[in-house]
Amino acid sequence: MNFLHTLTGSFAQPAAENPTVAMIEAAYRHHGLEWRYVNCEVAPEHLAAAVRGARAMGWAGFNCSLPHKLTVIEHLDGLAPSAQIIGAVNTVVMRDGLWIGENTDGQGFVEALLGVCTIEGQRVMLFGAGGAARAVAVELALAGAAHITVVNRSRPRGQELAELVNTRTGATAEYAHWHPAMPIPPGTGIVINATAIGLNPKVDDQLDLDWTTLRPGTVVADAIPNPPRTHLIRTAEIQGCTVLDGLGMLVNQGAIAIRLWTGVDADRGVMRLELARVLGL
């Protein structure tokens, strides 16, 4: 009997509302892996120490969530090609004694989105310009989106993301400053929230946009998994939109991370069922 399990986990702040631990440990159990996933609250000033500690304890890898997806890069030994383009990391893998940064956020989101619509040729309005938004924008562009409007309150960060899409992918992009009651332009096929607005425990927070400009048939997606039925998702449903909650993205990116760490293609149905159980869905 082996009492020494291989360790993986997550570094984030806040961490208590992140259900990733439940679905990944469910996958480990289902596939008979003697692995564990530890959810850790790590403040920005302690991130370097946490990465060193994971190395010292022989971790196989870890996830990074808010607010570490950009800053973790300076503590790694290298980046995978997609993470280099995105400039953000959500998954770290130990390879030959080196911490290598990957990004599975955008890949997971695109897989989920393809379940409800086509991406090729679409005009996208993306709220946010942080680590998750960067991953989503780049992967959407690589999947064939025609144009991405990056809406953000910080002009430098929003402009930087738009320029990244313009220079490193085949799509076009522009920055739009986020002002009160932001309208959704006609012709927009996909609207995405890639900010933390509405994330548990601040479940009553909502995007500052003109809700009357959400049109029937528009695809509205929220990257937030907890709660899955955010104010955005509920309101978009009332407006007749096709909605996509954050659970699909969360399951997909988690399954990709498990494959990177263990080599096992995890059963996504098992992972989603466990998420539904712990979230009371």
Catalytic residues: 69
Q: Cα–Cα–Cα angle for 128, 251, 226, nearest 5°? A: 55
Peptide bond into 183 cis (omega under 30): no
Contacts of 212 (CB under 8 A, 6+ apart): none
Tell me the three-class secondary structure of 158-220, residue by residue.
HHHHHHHHHHHCCCEEEEEECCCCECCCCCCCEEEECCCCCCCCCCCCCCCECHHHCCCCCEE
**What are the structure tokens assigned to 21, written together?**
């631990």
**Sheet architecture: strand order including 35-41:** 35-41, 6-12, 61-64, 91-95, 98-102, 78-79
Pairing of strands 172-177, 147-152: parallel
